[in-house]
């Protein structure tokens, strides 16, 4: 779980962001263009950079001009994009080499600084650091550190007994835009950290995409916009009775969608794809997804995220889950995501004040703009928040402007 995050000089973020302390469940609120999505985008950018390389990540975000802070670019300031995070590693598992004692992960601290000023040259990794703490079976603390400069990587590894720092490892020319944490350098702590980042899942569900027929692929996962929903429902249908089964999803929908009875999948043999159908009370036959409401499709995808994706992810980052849903379902959605956050960290952007009424101040992150830069803080940081809450709910305080985070 990410416990602390700092984003600097990326998109709308400036160079003086205070550390943002995250919890298992986090809802990010703010006006349009305040930087809510950019907070999630910073994590998505880091995932692409780690699993592929920085050049691909910059391209995915449409070039250096869209990655760097625009105000700093216009001022011709040369500040690097900088991302920092601290991770609680206690749920990431343990490492063992051969017959050595198992080493249990405690924490990871990660920093990366990137020069992405030029569209004519490859992005440059200015600095990258990963510090990790492990404990052995006797609870002795063991430390690991990797430091990467533009030209070399140095690793100090006391986790598996390599106490003497090795010779610096030169960076090959073809790897100048690859992150050391992404390549792993055959270092188990690096690989464990990389696997954690690989488990981050990002969603901005589109009903139009989610209702499309799809093929069943080997590494089946719900796509960012809801791709492969039908194939996942088919797999759940086959596994019914197991944890996270179709029965749980159907049960959740029955309590939220009037008349909803069940969902079933159907093979489109000519196309080699799967689709799904919805069954409603008092309606003969099944309803094809083209005729199912956008809200029902989105809610179905949310149920799959909470029951399927959560078991296969280390982080669920979700954009505006309230879109297309009746406000009456706000409590249901928060409860669904709160349950998912018991095992996987959840980070959500929203404009829905009704969500806030179901949250604690520590779970609400407020986004504002100050002199053109995104500023973030928790609702719990607002002066006199405890006295305000004796008379108003969080959503009401936000709508009144007491918390900030509004136009």
Residues 177 and 300 in one domain: no
How does the average pLDDT of the chain come out, rounded?
Answer: 90
CA distance linking residue 162 with residue 141, whole number of Å: 14
pLDDT of residue 401: 86
Residues 75 and 146 in one domain: yes
Last-in-domain residue among 280, 313, 346: 313
Residues 195 and 225 in one domain: no
Pairwise pLDDT comparison (39 vs 191), residue with the higher score:
39
Last-in-domain residue among 200, 219, 242: 200
pLDDT of residue 98: 64
CA distance linking residue 266 with residue 272, whole number of Å: 11
The DSSP call for residue 210 is H
* Residue 398, burial from CB neighbour count under 10 angstroms (0-12, 13-18, 19+): buried
Residue 12 has pLDDT above 90, yes or no: yes
The domain in which residue 304 lies consists of 202-313
CA distance linking residue 248 with residue 15, whole number of Å: 45
pLDDT of residue 49: 96
Pairwise pLDDT comparison (136 vs 273), residue with the higher score:
273
Read off the pLDDT of residues 15-72 as tens digits, 9 standing for 90 and up.
988 899 999 999 999 999 999 999 999 999 999 999 999 999 999 999 998 998 888 8
Integer CA distances (angstroms), 315 to 96, 206, 310, 337, 397, in order: 25, 20, 8, 12, 29
pTM: 0.93
Residues 175 and 217 in one domain: no
CA distance linking residue 279 with residue 124, whole number of Å: 54
| Domain total of the chain | 2
CA distance linking residue 214 with residue 228, whole number of Å: 6
pLDDT of residue 163: 53
Among the listed residues 310, 388, 375, 320, the one whose alpha carbon sits nearest the alpha carbon of residue 343: 310
Last-in-domain residue among 168, 200, 232: 200
Phi, psi of 70, deg, nearest 5? -65, -35
Residue 96 has pLDDT above 80, yes or no: no
Read off the pLDDT of residues 215-244 as tens digits, 9 standing for 90 and up.
988 889 999 999 999 999 999 988 865 555
Residues 224 and 172 in one domain: no
Q: Which two tokens stand for residue 397?
A: 């305080």
The answer as to whether 354 is a domain residue is no
**Residue 169: CB atoms within 10 Å:** 14
């Amino acid at each position: 779980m990410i416990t602390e995050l700092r984003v600097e000089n990326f998109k709308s973020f400036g160079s003086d962001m205070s550390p943002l302390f995250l919890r298992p469940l986090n809802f990010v609120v703010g006006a349009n263009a305040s930087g809510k999505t950019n907070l999630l985008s910073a994590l998505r950018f880091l995932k692409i950079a780690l699993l592929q390389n920085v050049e691909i990540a910059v391209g995915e975000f449409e070039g250096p001009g869209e990655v760097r802070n625009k105000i700093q670019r216009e001022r011709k300031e040369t500040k690097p994009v900088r991302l920092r995070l601290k991770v609680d590693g206690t749920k990431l598992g343990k490492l063992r080499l051969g017959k050595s004692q198992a080493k249990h992960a405690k924490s990871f601290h990660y920093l990366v600084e990137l020069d992405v000023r030029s569209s004519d040259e490859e992005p440059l990794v200015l600095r990258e650091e990963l510090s990790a703490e492990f404990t052995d079976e006797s609870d002795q603390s063991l430390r690991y550190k990797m430091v990467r400069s533009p030209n070399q990587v140095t690793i100090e590894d006391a986790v598996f007994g390599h106490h003497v720092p090795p010779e610096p490892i030169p960076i090959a020319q073809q790897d100048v835009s690859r992150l050391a944490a992404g390549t792993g350098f055959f270092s188990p702590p690096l690989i464990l950290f990389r696997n954690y980042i690989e488990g981050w899942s990002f969603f901005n569900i589109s009903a139009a995409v989610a209702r499309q027929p799809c093929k069943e692929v080997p590494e089946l996962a719900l796509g960012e916009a809801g791709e492969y929903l039908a194939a996942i429902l088919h797999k759940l249908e086959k596994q019914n009775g197991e944890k996270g089964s179709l029965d749980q999803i159907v049960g959740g929908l029955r309590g939220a969608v009037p008349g909803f009875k069940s969902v079933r999948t159907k093979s489109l043999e000519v196309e080699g794809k799967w689709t799904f159908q919805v069954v409603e009370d008092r309606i003969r036959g099944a309803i094809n997804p083209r005729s199912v409401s956008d809200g029902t499709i989105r809610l179905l995808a949310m149920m799959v995220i909470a029951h399927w994706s959560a078991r296969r992810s280390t982080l669920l980052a979700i954009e505006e889950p309230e879109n297309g849903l009746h406000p009456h379902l706000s409590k249901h959605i928060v409860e669904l995501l709160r349950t998912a956050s018991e095992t996987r960290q959840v980070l959500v952007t929203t404009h829905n004040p009704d969500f806030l009424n179901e949250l604690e101040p520590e779970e609400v992150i407020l986004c504002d703009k100050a002199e053109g830069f995104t500023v973030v803080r928790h609702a719990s940081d607002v002066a006199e928040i405890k006295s305000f809450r004796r008379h108003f709910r969080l959503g009401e305080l936000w709508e009144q402007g007491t918390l900030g985070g509004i136009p």
